[in-house]
Homo-oligomer: A and B are copies of this chain.
Amino acid sequence: MSSAVDPTRINDLPALVGQTVTVSGWVTHLRSSGKVAFVVMRDGTGTLQCVVAKKEVSEATWEQFGLLTLEASFSVTGAVRADARQVGGVEIGVKELTLLGPSALDYPIQPKEHGVDFLMDNRHFWLRTPRQVAIMRIRNEIEQAIHDFFYERGFLRVDTPILTAAIGERSGLFATEYFDEGTAYLAQTGQLYGEAAAAAFGKIYTFGPTFRAEKSKTRRHLTEFWMIEPEVAFNDTHANMRLQEDFVSFLVQRVLERRPAELKELERDVSKLEGIKAPFPRIDYTDAVATLQRKGSKVTWGEDLGAEDEALLVADYETPIFICNYPKEAKAFYMKENPADPRTVLCDDMLAPEGYGEIIGGSQREDDYDKLLHRIHEEKLPVEAYSWYLDLRKYGTFVHSGFGLGLERTVAWICGSPHIRECIPFPRLLNRLHP
């Protein structure tokens, strides 16, 4: 009953040339001349050409080959042979082949064009296709790179709560009943908890899902998305931007180094990524508005920048850029008033090049108790729910800054993907809760 050895995977095979192995996976391609048959197997770790010569296998194995269909699961036993023409440099000369799980002929994803809704309905199968596998491998690389970046720099990961009382941003909240405690809301950000944690641990980051119950239907919005939110005690807005540019450069260079095959599968123009190295240009909001007006935008000082304005600004650059120090009214209540111009706050948005737009929003946080309380009143937020957050300013307040990086937007940019929906395994959109 017990298998003494763990299953061999396709990506193990280059080290096993000349040996006889058994590998299991699924059919992605089939062809036969009547004398020699070829099956391409995928197992999630790679693809493998399996060569079945009718003369060299039993009648049973040849019959099993005849039963294979697209995405049927099967195992092969045979010798691993070097073959430079193959991905991974090996193929297998089949001695035995066994159909494990048949696949009905109506397997949904066929080698033809499918509509987006159909692909989304069949996301559990769509994920198996080469483009989606490449995106998910790059997503995984970015995620591990994020953890490595912060771990190596002494940041503590802090998992902030999803179920919260009325705290965070203002609208678009998912609500659920929470026993006798009333209504809980799904977190839109972990930042406020991150600030408390920064006072305890110095340098922290969060890494978790966040939620927006907004009726946005764009290429850049999900109702459930993952966000990474570092928060650092005693960092001012300048140190905060340095951290952001170092961080984003690290992620891009890491993917270039370790995922070249996946970038190639995606036909990504890597020359656009190779130059992504800190520092990035810093543009004051006020200067940005002047530039935009020169370029014909109707934006006026005081407004937030829309996606079109952002695109106009980044068009002049090949790296991400920072837009700094927005007007107070355009930004969240917790951002620190700019001492040099109290109409503005010490904040930055990082805009990715090639039209990908905002991937980071960051700021120095308001550390003055009275100013923060005033802003909470101005925004008509429930003061009681913020009492512990105000406490951080009452007992040993401190300069601190942080930012939020949207994971799926970052993956979309690095992959060159036109739509965020393919940058998360099971996307949640306005009209999409399945599968």
A397 to B101, CA, bound (A): 5
- A301 within 8 Å of B (CB atoms): no
Are A127's CB and B200's CB within 8 A? yes
- A245 within 8 Å of B (CB atoms): no
Are B101's CB and A180's CB within 8 A? no
- A306 within 8 Å of B (CB atoms): no
Q: What are the interface flags for A186-207 relative to B under an 8 Å C-beta threshold, 1 for contact and 0 otherwise?
A: 1000000100111111110000
Instruction: For A122, list chain B residues within 8 Å (CB).
Output: 388
The oligomer's copy count stands at 2
- Which one of B44, B162, B236, B391 lies within 8 Å of A124 (CB-CB)? B391
Nearest Cβ on chain B to A338's Cβ, whole angstroms: 10
Q: What are the interface flags for A159-171 relative to B under an 8 Å C-beta threshold, 1 for contact and 0 otherwise?
A: 1111111000000
Are B234's CB and A24's CB within 8 A? yes
Q: Nearest B residue to A241 by beta-carbon distance? A: B2
Are B193's CB and A425's CB within 8 A? yes
Q: What are the interface flags for A10-34 relative to B under an 8 Å C-beta threshold, 1 for contact and 0 otherwise?
A: 0100000000000010110000000
Instruction: For A193, list chain B residues within 8 Å (CB).
Output: 425-426, 435
Are B226's CB and A159's CB within 8 A? yes
Instruction: For A424, list chain B residues within 8 Å (CB).
Output: 159
Query: Contacts A163-B428, A201-B133, A398-B101: A157 and B140 contacting too (C-beta < 8 A)?
Result: yes
Instruction: For A117, list chain B residues within 8 Å (CB).
Output: none
- Which one of B9, B163, B180, B201 lies within 8 Å of A211 (CB-CB)? B163
Are A154's CB and B395's CB within 8 A? no
Nearest Cβ on chain B to A79's Cβ, whole angstroms: 20
- Which one of B103, B178, B397, B435 lies within 8 Å of A388 (CB-CB)? B435
Instruction: For A157, list chain B residues within 8 Å (CB).
Output: 140, 143-144
- A84 within 8 Å of B (CB atoms): no
Are A156's CB and B128's CB within 8 A? no
Query: Contacts A103-B395, A388-B124, A435-B388: A137 and B161 contacting too (C-beta < 8 A)?
Result: no
A24 to B143, CA, bound (A): 31
Are A6's CB and B242's CB within 8 A? yes
Instruction: For A163, list chain B residues within 8 Å (CB).
Output: 174, 211, 223-224, 428, 433
Q: What are the interface flags for A213-238 relative to B under an 8 Å C-beta threshold, 1 for contact and 0 otherwise?
A: 10100000001101000000111101
Instruction: For A107, list chain B residues within 8 Å (CB).
Output: 395
A124 to B394, CA, bound (A): 13
- A176 within 8 Å of B (CB atoms): yes
Are A180's CB and B125's CB within 8 A? no
- A317 within 8 Å of B (CB atoms): no
Are B433's CB and A178's CB within 8 A? yes
Are B3's CB and A236's CB within 8 A? yes
Query: Contacts A178-B433, A430-B179: A136 and B103 contacting too (C-beta < 8 A)?
Result: no
Q: 10 A-B Cβ contacts within 8 A?
A: A103-B395, A124-B388, A127-B201, A137-B201, A144-B151, A160-B426, A165-B434, A179-B431, A208-B209, A389-B435
A contacts, CB < 8 Å to B: 1-3, 6-7, 9, 11, 24, 26-27, 43-45, 71-73, 100-104, 107-108, 122, 124-125, 127-128, 132-133, 136-137, 140, 143-144, 147, 151, 154, 156-165, 174-182, 184, 186, 193, 196-203, 208-209, 211, 213, 215, 223-224, 226, 233-236, 238-239, 242-243, 340, 367, 388-389, 391-399, 424-426, 428, 430-435
Q: A3-B236, A133-B201, A163-B211 are in contact. List 9 more A-B contacts (CB 8 A).
A: A6-B242, A9-B202, A26-B398, A72-B396, A124-B392, A127-B200, A162-B224, A165-B433, A174-B176
